Amino acid sequence: MRRYRYLMSPLNVGSITWKNRIFKTAAGSNMMVGSNGYVSEVLKQYYWSFARGGAGCIFVESPDIDFPLGMPVPTWLRLDDDKFIPGFRELVDGIHRYGAKACIQFWHAGPWHLKIFTGLAPLAPSPHCEPEIKFLFPPTTCEELSIERIEIITDKFIQAAERARIAGFDGVDVNCGANHLLGSFMSRFWNYRTDLYGYDSLENRSRFTVNIIRGIKKRCGNDFNVGVLMNGTEYNMRDLGNTREECVEFARIFEAAGADSFQIRPYQYMNITCYWPEQFFYPEKKDDMPKGMDFSRRGPGAFIPDADAVKKAISKPVFTPGRWNGDLDYAEECIKHGLIDAIGITRGLNADPELPNKIRDGRVDEIRPCTACLTCLEGHYLPKPTYTYCRINPFMGKDMEYESYPEARQKKNVLVAGGGPAGMEAARTAAMRGHKVTLYSGDNFLGGLMPMAAMVKGDYPENFQDIIDWYGLQLKKLGVKVITGEKVTPELVGKLKPDAVVVATGAAERSSSVPGYDNSKVMDSQSLIEKMRTALKFSKPSHLGKITRLWIPIGSSAVIMGGGIRGLQLAAFLVKRGRKVAVVEEMETFGQGGLVTTMWILCNWLRKKGCTLLPQVTYEEINDKGLVITDKHGQRRTIEAESILPLEPLVKDESLAKKLEGVVREIYTAGSCNTPGLIRDATNEGFKVGMAL
Ligand SMILES: Cc1cc2nc3c(=O)[nH]c(=O)nc-3n(C[C@H](O)[C@H](O)[C@H](O)COP(=O)(O)O)c2cc1C
Ligand code: SF4
């Protein structure tokens, strides 16, 4: 607690006092999917978990205040009608019960509205169209707002704030950042108007937001907090992006209009991951790092220069988000030295809602680490939107199904076979519930394939070692006996006589029938993994990663057979080590099994680095020259390469579970041994098995 004295100190914001300087930033959770815009039970539980975990204030995600044009899609939360108030009231009551304050963000999609869902043109200050706004889908022309329509929307913001007040919220946060509606009016890039809301002065550009702030204060009362979330410096907009100086001037204007707090985030147009500063290092440090951000800590604190400039110019509290869970010490420093007043966190709290309580109680080493994988974004990009989920916090979104970690009715001796994420999570959850657990890892280390993946992917921004270390510590604290370097066999189980065995031994490699597979050029993934396994007995993944920059048993040119997540990651590893790489894939798209966002970034990066990506190929044969394929145009050709690396999707392997039938009464399988998948699938399955025991 003393170490984070400033972070844990109270903060006055407008008419309210937060108990500490950590707030949950507003972030779309999709937890209302299927609830027709009403607050769902799972959404309430989701936000209550942050309040229970000790955050000083919860900024609830934005509802649609101008349905259906106010949001990109018509399936989000709504607060455009009084009928939605009761659900929000229950949500707010729950947040207050835990001593946290509750605010709600309001933004209007403007150009971000997707016409494909409603047939309605998105709204904007000026009639933008493709290719100017590259994310319009389908390509369409935005409707230029008339002054009358601007006034109607202004009133909708104010009415929604009145509803928020009735629901019990302590305030609203007006999001005029990014380049949705309010932000695009403030921009010289998007706003071509010449009227009262035109581009020619800061007053005109900010008039829309100013009228909203003033209107809310007038109709909801001065004690109802109005915060502003705004862009700091804007990048990638030729010379028309807002400068830091303009951002400071806007903040002064909003303060004069009555705003109680400011959240500042720089913005980089056409960079879908610009709000996650560590992603500027994925898959390697970008060439065009924005000059005005502070990347000295590779993410945490990157937005401080803009936030600090605003802080110096105004008297109200200033906040900024951005990977703070990666450097809490620096967060403490920034608050101590008055650069900002509080930090906003989303992903760190998704990974561990108890983060603030753990800081308060001096249990920082117990904070479950967010690994910056962006899996939590995925729910938004899937064809059928799903609840947001976290790769390493399987509890997220499941409070409805499970009540905390209920004590097991019958305490059992549980043997977990496998030290990967599924096995570790099953062991952890089972031990939390009071079972006596022993975990066997066939490797000399914990983590299953994660250390190999860590070596291939490097240690930034994702660091698998953090997950392994966290599980290692948790298992130790929970009294789980961990035995490494010993495989589980029916004989061992017969000897130990556990009540239940959880088989989490991972998937198997798929064997290939391509003629010439036995050619000496081929290094199949099993032998690659075995080599890494041996090396990992003596060295940490990060160290091995460095050694492989000097030497790897792979020729100067390589073909990777299989463009799924593993194939692309291996390609990046080889490209970074100077290899000429081609990735061939039988299917139409690359990156199967990976996240839409990161796979898209990775494919672009690989192409930029000269890597060839060939989809829809048929494998013909492997010969001494390389791999012979028929490409998608039906042409037979040889891709010459010194090494050929087949990385086909993994297949399930339940052989141990089958062998154990009749040896032990209860057998469970978890993770890739029954359904090959990602870490999020493995932890999810391990958790469910741990709960079922
Ligand atoms: C799934 C997801 C959805 C988000 N949606 C919003 C949003 O609707 N409004 C917003 O202002 N920020 C949104 N954000 C950005 C977060 O509020 C925050 O600024 C960002 O995640 C950086 O903080 P972090 O590093 O603590 O996650 C979203 C972030 C995530 C991960
Ligand atoms: S899904 Fe990944 S990025 Fe998102 S909170 Fe969890 S660990 Fe962090």
The residue whose CA is least distant from atom 9 of ligand 1 is 27
What is the 8-class DSSP label of residue 540?
-
CA of 25 to the centre of ligand 1 (A): 6
Ligand closest to 264 (CA) is 1
Is residue 625 classed exposed, middle or buried when 0-12, 13-18 and 19+ CB atoms within 10 A define those classes?
exposed
Query: What pLDDT sits at residue 80?
Result: 98
DSSP string of 491-530, one letter each residue: HHHHHH--SEEEE----BPPP---TTTTSTTB--HHHHHH
The residue whose CA is least distant from atom 11 of ligand 1 is 26
Mean pLDDT of the chain: 94
Is the pLDDT assigned to residue 385 strictly greater than 80?
no
Residue 589: how many CA atoms within 13 Å on its side-chain side?
9
The residue whose CA is least distant from atom 2 of ligand 2 is 373
Q: Give domain 525-646's CATH architecture.
A: 3-Layer(bba) Sandwich (3.50)
The residue whose CA is least distant from atom 6 of ligand 2 is 390
CA of 30 to the centre of ligand 2 (A): 15
Give residue ranges with CB within 6 A of ligand 1.
25-28, 61-62, 105, 175, 229, 275-276, 321-324, 345-348, 376-377, 388
CA of 374 to the centre of ligand 1 (A): 10
| Stretch among 52-61, 129-138, 238-247, 404-413 having the lowest mean pLDDT | 129-138
CA of 92 to the centre of ligand 2 (A): 25
d(CA 394, CA 684): 5
d(CA 293, CA 230): 16
Q: Is the CB of 376 under 6 A from ligand 2?
A: yes
The residue whose CA is least distant from atom 5 of ligand 2 is 347
Q: Is the CB of 279 under 6 A from ligand 2?
A: no
d(CA 26, CA 175): 10
The residue whose CA is least distant from atom 13 of ligand 1 is 27
Q: Is the CB of 392 under 6 A from ligand 2?
A: yes
Nearest atom in ligand 1 to 277's CA:
25
CA of 570 to the centre of ligand 2 (A): 22
Give, for ligand 1, the residue of 180, 271, 275 to mutate: max count of ligand atoms closer than 8 Å to Cβ: 275
d(CA 207, CA 384): 38
CA of 378 to the centre of ligand 2 (A): 10
Does the N-terminal peptide bond of residue 461 adopt cis geometry, omega within 30 degrees of 0?
yes
Nearest atom in ligand 1 to 380's CA:
1
Ligand closest to 351 (CA) is 2
Query: What pLDDT sits at residue 547?
Result: 86
Of 367, 375, 327, the residue nearest 349 (C-alpha): 367
Query: What pLDDT sits at residue 491?
Result: 98
Higher-scoring residue by pLDDT: 193, 115: 193
Query: What pLDDT sits at residue 309?
Result: 98
CA of 277 to the centre of ligand 2 (A): 14
Ligand closest to 392 (CA) is 2
Ligand closest to 282 (CA) is 2
For 401-413, what is each residue's pLDDT tens digit? 777 889 999 999 9
d(CA 656, CA 200): 72
For 479-488, what is each residue's pLDDT tens digit? 999 999 999 9
The residue whose CA is least distant from atom 4 of ligand 2 is 376
As a whole number, mean pLDDT of residues 128-150 equals 79
> pLDDT tier at 131 (50, 70, 90 boundaries)?
low
Q: Is the CB of 373 under 6 A from ligand 2?
A: yes
> pLDDT tier at 353 (50, 70, 90 boundaries)?
very high
Query: What pLDDT sits at residue 126?
Result: 93
Is the pLDDT assigned to residue 341 strictly greater than 80?
yes
Is the pLDDT assigned to residue 133 strictly greater than 70?
no
d(CA 498, CA 440): 13
CA of 324 to the centre of ligand 2 (A): 13
Nearest atom in ligand 2 to 369's CA:
7
CA of 573 to the centre of ligand 2 (A): 22
CATH of domain 2-110+146-381: 3.20.20.70
CA of 207 to the centre of ligand 2 (A): 37
As a whole number, mean pLDDT of residues 661-668 equals 97
The residue whose CA is least distant from atom 23 of ligand 1 is 322
Q: Is the CB of 390 under 6 A from ligand 2?
A: yes
Q: Is the CB of 595 under 6 A from ligand 2?
A: no
Is the pLDDT assigned to residue 423 strictly greater than 70?
yes
CA of 27 to the centre of ligand 1 (A): 4
For 17-49, what is each residue's pLDDT tens digit? 999 999 999 999 989 888 999 999 999 999 999
Query: What pLDDT sits at residue 288?
Result: 83
Query: What pLDDT sits at residue 135?
Result: 60
> pLDDT tier at 132 (50, 70, 90 boundaries)?
low
> pLDDT tier at 138 (50, 70, 90 boundaries)?
low
Is the pLDDT assigned to residue 137 strictly greater than 70?
no
As a whole number, mean pLDDT of residues 518-546 equals 85
Q: Which residues pair with 621 in a beta bridge?
A: 628
Q: Is the CB of 351 under 6 A from ligand 2?
A: yes
As a whole number, mean pLDDT of residues 337-356 equals 98
CA of 595 to the centre of ligand 2 (A): 12
For 232-284, what is each residue's pLDDT tens digit? 999 988 889 999 999 999 999 999 999 999 999 999 988 889 999 999 999 99
Q: Is the CB of 368 under 6 A from ligand 2?
A: no
d(CA 232, CA 666): 57
Nearest atom in ligand 2 to 348's CA:
5
Nearest atom in ligand 2 to 350's CA:
5
Give, for ligand 2, the residue of 29, 324, 375, 471 to mutate: max count of ligand atoms closer than 8 Å to Cβ: 375
Helix (H) or strand (E) holding 638: strand 636-640
Nearest atom in ligand 2 to 396's CA:
6
Query: What pLDDT sits at residue 134?
Result: 63
Is the pLDDT assigned to residue 379 strictly greater than 80?
no
What is the 8-class DSSP label of residue 383?
S
CA of 29 to the centre of ligand 1 (A): 9
CA of 375 to the centre of ligand 2 (A): 6
CA of 472 to the centre of ligand 2 (A): 19
Task: State the CATH class of domain 413-508+652-692.
Answer: alpha beta
203: how many CB neighbours lie within 10 A of its CB? 12
Of 93, 61, 59, the residue nearest 75 (C-alpha): 61
Q: What angle do CA 404, 409, 410 make, to 5 degrees?
A: 130
Domain residue spans in the chain?
Answer: 2-110+146-381, 413-508+652-692, 525-646
Query: What pLDDT sits at residue 271?
Result: 87
